[in-house]
């Protein structure tokens, strides 16, 4: 089976997006940057959802193993 570097994995990028969105949502400065807390929360939730969908799609399409 062919192997590919981790940074070429769609699954890994989806996981990174999900984690980054969740972490950014913990900082009140993000709400100040976008103008309102509700908008910041919506963007955080959207980022998490999109990241999870990307990770799931990447996992379903995976045909090779990931290497370090």
- Tell me the per-residue pLDDT of 46-68, one tens digit each, with 9 for 90 and over: 999 999 999 999 999 998 888 87
Residue 68 lies in a domain: no
Q: Is 70 exceeded by the pLDDT of residue 2? A: yes
Residue 3 lies in a domain: no
How many C-beta neighbours within 10 Å does residue 59 have?
Answer: 13
The count of structural domains within the chain is: 1
Closest CA to 44 of 67, 19, 16: 19
Residue 24 lies in a domain: yes
**Which residues face 3 on adjacent strands?**
65
Give the structural domain span for 19: 10-63
pLDDT tens readout for residues 4-26: 899 999 999 999 999 999 998 89
Residue 48 lies in a domain: yes
User: Do 52 and 59 contact (CB within 8 A), yes or no?
Assistant: no
For the chain, the distance separating the N- and C-terminal CA atoms, rounded to the nearest angstrom, is 15
């Amino acid at each position: 089976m062919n192997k590919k570097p981790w940074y070429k994995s769609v699954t890994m990028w989806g996981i990174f997006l999900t984690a980054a969105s969740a972490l950014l949502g913990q900082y009140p400065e993000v709400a100040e940057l976008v103008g309102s807390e509700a908008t910041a929360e919506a963007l955080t939730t959207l980022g998490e959802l999109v990241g999870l969908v990307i990770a799931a799609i990447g996992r379903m399409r995976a045909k090779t193993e990931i290497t370090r």
